[in-house]
Structure 1
């Protein structure tokens, strides 16, 4: 569901725990906000306190983790746990603290997506050792260390964001080509 042609409403809804509402508009990007790393740190501390030994790793990912990069003002956090499919080990604790499970993608790295109780976050939950986690962090690190790659990605995002998107996931999918190009250069 993350590459190729744009996914249908039915496919998007099939992994959601809540009703899917169309976006039907452009994507609004915000200028880089230096408070984003602090918001991540606050969430990371809360998650560590709640989950204890269930936390294998926590990382700030996505555009809000790259200084100087415009982004949707949503903090992307990658949480790895021993087994993301074992929801009983972490979801009830997070739900009791106000987090909501909104996406369950059993066919895509057993990915779970949760929203936070008071900060707009995307908490991406994966099993420890999943290749997608390393990919996400490699992309983040490339943008952090290569200003030309960050600027290319920013231009692409701005151009795509101006279009009308039925769902924000379609905008995310449209960026997959440039993401792969940047990762290919990182791997050279």
Structure 2
């Protein structure tokens, strides 16, 4: 199943997005609703809270008096830790139960207000953030929830900033305008990204890629790569020695194909093969193809690697799994650092990329990629010694 993390600041319209996605067929797992459910009358959660904080946290009808609980639970760090120690495991257990009950081909939307604050993005296949400017959010909180302006601003300021949400979000939905402007965005997201992403994940296939074309430098490429790296780190666990953003998109200011390249460094090819299942389950199907990236004067066997791609049709990415210390692993990092440090090298490489782009024009994949690489490969072989020298690598 596909797991989507949905978040947004107070008043941004997250609940509206959750409702639309549910109407389209998503399975909603609402963390706020779960938090209320696990401390409802008659639950072990409520009983544990009473044991910890006393019976006066109960209302007259036996339900939880939340202001009374807050007065006690947030009085000290120790009391807050006690509260979290009771409720967090129960919320986690119930969340896991609801996700496990979802269909294998389901799209599960986890509505988590504090997703960014709690660093939960790496555990999702995709993070959707609902955005709205502060004044719009304050107006909604005043109008629809009866919250005073000062209180609304205080609550907003206590949450993650818009910049933090942008860095964490794979998809940003703009809800600063009229209510009817939001639904078309959500429907397009569902039809063009979420549904095909779920299918690719389930079938372990790669998305169809478009023309081989250079794009202008995107200042968000680095943040996008970091989100991928965080998810890959979860999938790999301790099997990854390091995970790096490599390739042209890792070089600020350099035009590139809009494809993020990531390198996972492992101890040996046996580990690379052992990672096939966890990477595919996480949404990175492996391509069973043979590549020869070797350079003159080196042992071709030491350039072997495994290649995975991102199943997300909205974010093309190649994941290269290479052995620590082998020439290909070292060259990928050295080449990136060489380009970052040398403006003349960047210009030289860009000229080669432009020629490769022209060679691939009008062709379909895989012929386009073959034509593109046919231009670039001889240049890579020629600059290999220069890159090693610049990096102080004499091997």
Give yes or no for TM over 0.5. yes
CA distance in 1, matches of 2:245, 2:370: 20
1:13 equivalent in structure 2: none
1:179 equivalent in structure 2: 380
2:304 equivalent in structure 1: 110
1:90 aligns with 2:286: no
1:131 equivalent in structure 2: 327
1:48 aligns with 2:233: yes
1:121 equivalent in structure 2: 317
2:220 equivalent in structure 1: 35
Q: CA deviation at 1:181?
A: 3.6
Pick closer, same or farther for the CA change 1:126–1:97 going to 2, 3 Å: same
CA distance in 2, matches of 1:70, 1:32: 5
Q: CA deviation at 1:104?
A: 4.3
Q: Greater RCO between the two (CA within 8 Å, min separation 6)? A: 1
CA distance in 2, matches of 1:179, 1:88: 27
Moved over 4 A (4+): none
After superposing the two structures, state which structure 1 stretch, 77-86 or 67-76, moved more: 77-86
TM-score where L is the length of structure 1: 0.78
Q: CA deviation at 1:87?
A: 4.9
Structure label with greater radius of gyration = 2
CA distance in 1, matches of 2:358, 2:273: 40
Name the structure where helix makes up a greater proportion of residues: 2
Aligned length: 169
TM-score where L is the length of structure 2: 0.39
Structure 1, gaps ≥5 residues long: 1-16
1:58 aligns with 2:252: no
Pick closer, same or farther for the CA change 1:109–1:156 going to 2, 3 Å: closer
CA-based RMSD: 2.7
After superposing the two structures, state which structure 1 stretch, 47-56 or 160-169, moved more: 160-169
